[in-house]
Amino acid sequence: METYLRQPKIDDPRYDQAVEFIKMYLRGDHDTHDFLRKVNLGCQSLREDYPKAPEVWHISSIIERMFDNIECSKYFIARAIRLGLDEQDTRAILDKYIDEDILWGDTEGYLRQSQSIDTLIEYYVSKAHHYFNKGDFDLADIYSQRVSALNNPLLSQLVEIPKLRDETKIHNDRNTLDQHYKSTIDILHQHWTNIALDNSDVEKNIHKYNGEADRLQMAEEAVKWIRATEKRSPAILEIGCFAGGLLNEIYKSLSSDEDISPRLVGVEPNENITVEAGKLLPHIEFHVGDHKSLVSYGLNLPELIDVCIISRVFSILMPDDVEQTLEFLSSRTHFLIICDDIFNLNGEQTMVRMPSNFFLIHNFRDKLENNGFMIEDVIMANVPHREFTGIIIAKGRQN
């Protein structure tokens, strides 16, 4: 890889650090991986402090390319060009990006559409919704991953479903698919079960629901279906509730309604978090457990569940565990709400979202219908991101 850097007009150690990292990367030094996030954070703060310095956006583009976030790299080089760094080799980099991108026909068109990061994200979101509404989930996913990449410059860009399908076929042909799933799940379980938060951390996690579009959308959708039960005291269960933020948003939304007094129940495997959350949210019943304790009747839960919410949990479960959980819930649940990465809804089998074996994306239609659920509605996320592209509403056999 060839990289050209101009003598910067700014004197800042964060810029020097990025230059040194690039030299290490090009030399093939093995220590670059541990250094990369620090350099990326440095570039982020440089962009905040020097928003009109083209060399800052240029070096940020190079770092993002090394970080495998091609969408951010492309936008940053376009920003550098727009700020005056429109030299032949710089323009050639953007031209090459556009030539390799199936979504763009020419560089000028991209430059017009990307006047700001907000206008570019808005464009991608509108395209994702357009194709989602047409039933083309592959294209909806491609546009959605661009949104996620631009909103997460400190993270690598996730691989799109058409490429994942090819990767899944390779593993299937080699009889390594189950191991591919398991290696992903083992990493995720180790991460989530080892999280330890004190009371202030848990409180922050609860309150952040107020400002995150995806979580508010989940809460709004849940309240809609809770009202649809037409019950005064509906039983609401969330599997994988973490600190109870979603259940608390539901509680706040319904607190002014004198006709509804829900029983709110959360199941979470991390005992430390449930203890701290229980102190802060006494109106929620917290149970320490997971999908295994659920299906083995190891939890004191409502016999019939009016609305069951499973948010970003199935993505860390093996396909068989998803099937067992759905089978258990189907005869006990009125409405099931799945908030997850849903673009593999109509797929033939579970796939692993990459890079770094990020999580599993399941073929939910087959799994739901095979276990007694009927899909009522599928809603795309207002602003899709890495762990949440939409919501599935399904009815169980209790109906």
Task: State residue 397's pLDDT score.
Answer: 77
Domain 13-115 of CATH type 3.40.50: no
pLDDT(198) > 90:
no
177-395, which class in CATH? alpha beta
The whole-model pTM stands at 0.91
Q: What is the pLDDT of residues 261-302, one digit of tens each?
A: 999 999 998 888 898 899 999 999 999 998 888 888 778 888
Q: CA–CA separation, 96 vs 89, rounded Å?
A: 10
DSSP designation for 83: T
- When pLDDT is averaged across residues 112-120 and rounded to a whole number, the result is 95
Q: CA–CA separation, 330 vs 394, rounded Å?
A: 10
257/70: higher pLDDT: 70
pLDDT(98) > 70:
yes
pLDDT(20) > 70:
yes
The encoded tokens of residue 27 equal 């030399």
Q: How confident is the model at residue 196 (pLDDT cuts 50, 70, 90)?
A: low
Task: State residue 284's pLDDT score.
Answer: 95
186/371: higher pLDDT: 371
Q: What is the pLDDT of residues 237-265, one digit of tens each?
A: 999 998 899 999 999 999 988 889 999 99
Task: State residue 89's pLDDT score.
Answer: 80
Residue boundaries of the structural domains of the chain: 13-115, 177-395
Backbone φ/ψ region at 244: left (φ over 0), alpha (ψ -120 to 50), beta: left
Closest C-alpha to 9, from 72, 121, 84: 84
What percent of the chain clears pLDDT 90, i.e. is strictly above it? 68
Cα-Cα-Cα-Cα torsion 33, 37, 40, 42, nearest 10 degrees, comes to -120
